[in-house]
Amino acid sequence: MVVGDASLEIDLLVIGAGPGGYVAAIRAAQLGQNVLIVEKNEFGGVCLNQGCIPSKTLISAAHQYETMNRSANIGISASDVTIDFVKIQEWKSSVVKKLTSGVGGLLKGNKILTFQGEAMFINEQEARLFNENESLRYRFKHCIVATGSRPIELEAFPFGGRILSSTEALSLEAIPQSLIVVGGGYIGIELGQMYAKFGTKVTILARTPAILPGFEKDVTKLVQRKLEKEKVEVYTETQAQSVETTDHNVTVTYEVKGEKKKVTADYVLVTVGRRPNTDGDLGLDLIGVKLSERGLIEIDGQCRTNIPSIFAIGDVVAGPALAHKASYEAKVAAEAIAGQSSQIDYKVIPAIVYSDPEIASVGLSEVEAKEKGYIVKIGKFPYSANGRALSLQSTEGFVKLVADEKTGLVLGAQIVGEEASNLVAELGLAIEMGATLEDIALTIHAHPTLGEMVGEVAETALGHGIHQM
């Protein structure tokens, strides 16, 4: 639905239509609000268009290609397996289009007004909406800022040409023969490993002492081992200093252990974090919305800023830049605006890396639990002892539970291995509901499944595991 009469007063203005914005708009509409949503670029935001969905689509294709080339040991051989990367990109685009069209349909079905363009605050309850063709002025009772984030651009590595952000890396027309990745976080590891599976020679330059900082070492070392098998060169504690580009390649100069070195490749992908979209012409400064030093909007427990009529969610507020966090905050904000008592609680926001093997974490790690003063009880169960994992040729990995020794209360979980991203959901629910190790152990898990390991690891932590010594 296109915005009509500019004299309308809107109950709620939502700026940004990513997984935070469009979810907030729909939930608010369900609660009886008259909603207008504004999007500068594509509806669905970065997640659906340049992030979560396209990256996981390409990662899935890379896994399928790898599987076709490693099944001879179980009696299945394939010869002349080829990659049509143009067709893979077309398939990716079709997945994205299907989902973004779905978002449009949901907005329309919930009678939400939409505007393709930008928004700028005039005061605490008015904003100007504009694009190349029109400029409209709207008054609102409340507004939710959900403008997301963008890749951080290093001064020495300006995006363009052969210097890529994650957006360009997901849209290459051909598989590069070689790729340098600056950054050892989850985006760099996911995309670097994806291209390595397609046959690209990948070099990763991580500034941190280990890849994937924030995850426990016993988890990340399995990903490191797989990268080595894929002949990915990983250098930690490095400082990427400069880049030289030609029509054919790029050369990055970096420092490691006080020594300057150079590496040349077709492209360099820079993945050193993301920056909140709170600058520019939005006008937050004009109305006095408080920002942190990092440019993040400060909010209370209901996602309300220091301006009572303005709320903020997603990548523009503190916390991990995750789509599911944004969607969660969106519901809280919409319900708070409708007068409900909803409050944000980040205790069970899962973190997932679509590396090989996958990593998933929820709640407290062992280190975090000890820092909070808990005497912890640990359970650990290996994939190699699970029948389903053996049948899938996916025996690398483990499920780990962290619990309170005194009460048995489940505090956290870390999983590395096949389908970790799906297995973690049960453990997130367990923490949310205040479940104990015994509660999980007494839950009958179907056999043969990977999910059995959740029950097994609880039994192991209790000291009566069946399938491991």
**Helices 52-68 and 186-197: angle between axes, nearest 10 degrees:** 40
DSSP 283-297: -HHHHT--B-TTSPB
The pair of three-digit structure tokens given for residue 328, joined into one six-digit string: 């969660």
Measured CA angle at 230 (ends 225, 235), to 5 deg: 65
Contacts of 5 (CB under 8 A, 6+ apart): none
Displacement of CA 256 from its chain's centroid (Å): 29
Displacement of CA 10 from its chain's centroid (Å): 32
The pair of three-digit structure tokens given for residue 385, joined into one six-digit string: 């002892």
Backbone angles phi, psi at 295, to 5 degrees: 85, 15
**Does residue 310 contact residue 145 with C-beta atoms inside 8 Å?**
yes
Residue 345: how many CB atoms within 10 A of its CB? 11
3-state secondary structure of 233: strand
| Active-site annotation holds for 447 | yes
Q: In what order do the strands lie in the sheet with 359-363?
A: 351-353, 359-363, 410-416, 398-404, 376-382
Pairing of strands 233-235, 250-256: unpaired
Host H or E run for residue 187: helix 186-197
DSSP 89-154: HHHHHHHHHHHHHHHHHHHHHTT-EEEESEEEEEETTEEEEE-SS-EEEEEEEEEEE---EEE--B
* CA 76 vs CA 199, 230, 418: distances in Å: 21, 21, 21
Best CA proximity match to 174, nearest among 83, 63, 91, 270: 83
Residue of 63, 447, 464, 467 marked catalytic: 447
C-alpha 108/C-alpha 272 separation (Å) is 37
Host H or E run for residue 311: strand 310-312
C-alpha 162/C-alpha 168 separation (Å) is 9
* CA 36 vs CA 46, 137, 255, 282: distances in Å: 20, 12, 50, 16
- Catalytically active residues are 447
